[in-house]
A = this chain, B = another copy of it.
């Protein structure tokens, strides 16, 4: 079986049997790539840039990783490892799911570039697998596996959807290369024109509302999360609480 015949990175052995000791490692490369993506966006994490970060030649990375796409999969799984799900299920499903929600959101806020990579089903890295076991273990005693999948998907969708909205404008500012105030000044005329046209009353209400003092992002998230958890509670048998 040649390297090209692997369809999944996780099956490919990292260390060879013979030959000189490798100087670098998958973990080290992944770490460097994540560091660059955090600071300058995923598109800045090019093979040459990552190699330079760890002091290697560009082509050396391909001894450890079959392609850039696969490296991004490694990066995504590394991020999953940041979500603390130890001790789940604890017996208090609400507390467990809240901890997961906070952890997932915090991870996304640390690594907003994760929004641009779509994970696919077959890419079950070790960290993602562990997350699935622990997280779905929380409701496993109460509902069928199908129901469990649906409820976890609902929760995760809520978290990812809201955090996507939270980070998107910040990412846009970063990608444009403009300062935030300058970017706001550039965007203003368009929004102002829409508001003044009078054709978009609800959009206008949103804009006006956005200018008022609000709950913090955290509180807003918690508020919505409580609603989702209530929704989940309604799907559980009465024995669950």
Residues in A lying within 8 Å of B, measured CB to CB: 5-8, 10-11, 115-116, 118-124, 129, 132-133, 136-137, 140, 145-146, 149-150, 153-154, 156-158, 160-162, 164-165, 168-169, 171-172, 176, 178, 183, 186-187, 189-191, 193-194, 200-203, 205-206, 209, 214, 220, 223-224, 227-228, 230-231, 234-235
- Given A121-B172, A158-B158, 8 more A-B residue pairs with CB atoms under 8 Å apart are A7-B183, A11-B189, A116-B118, A120-B168, A124-B194, A146-B214, A150-B227, A231-B234
When all copies of this chain in the complex are counted, the total is 2
Contact of A234 among B116, B153, B230 (CB under 8 A): B230
Question: Given A118-B116, A223-B150, A202–B124 Cβ distance below 8 Å?
Answer: no
B133 and A202 contacting across the interface, CB-CB below 8 Å: yes
Contact of A224 among B150, B161, B220 (CB under 8 A): B150
Contact of A157 among B136, B137, B162, B193 (CB under 8 A): B162
Rounded to whole Å, the gap between the CB of A229 and the closest CB of chain B is: 10
Question: Given A122-B169, A140-B202, A202-B136, A154–B227 Cβ distance below 8 Å?
Answer: yes
Q: How far is the CA of A231 from the CA of B154 in the complex (A)?
A: 11
A168 and B121 contacting across the interface, CB-CB below 8 Å: yes
Question: Given A146-B209, A153-B224, A154-B228, A118–B202 Cβ distance below 8 Å?
Answer: no
User: Secondary structure at chain A's binding surface: helix, strand, loop or mixed?
Assistant: helix
B186 and A7 contacting across the interface, CB-CB below 8 Å: yes
- 5 residue pairs, one from A and one from B, having the closest CB atoms: A157-B161, A7-B186, A231-B231, A120-B172, A121-B169
A202 and B137 contacting across the interface, CB-CB below 8 Å: yes
Q: How far is the CA of A203 from the CA of B176 in the complex (A)?
A: 42
Question: Given A118-B116, A153-B224, A161-B153, A8–B230 Cβ distance below 8 Å?
Answer: no
B203 and A133 contacting across the interface, CB-CB below 8 Å: yes
**Max count, chain B CB within 10 A of own CB: residue among A11, A157, A209:** A157
A168 and B231 contacting across the interface, CB-CB below 8 Å: no
Contact of A132 among B119, B120, B203 (CB under 8 A): B203
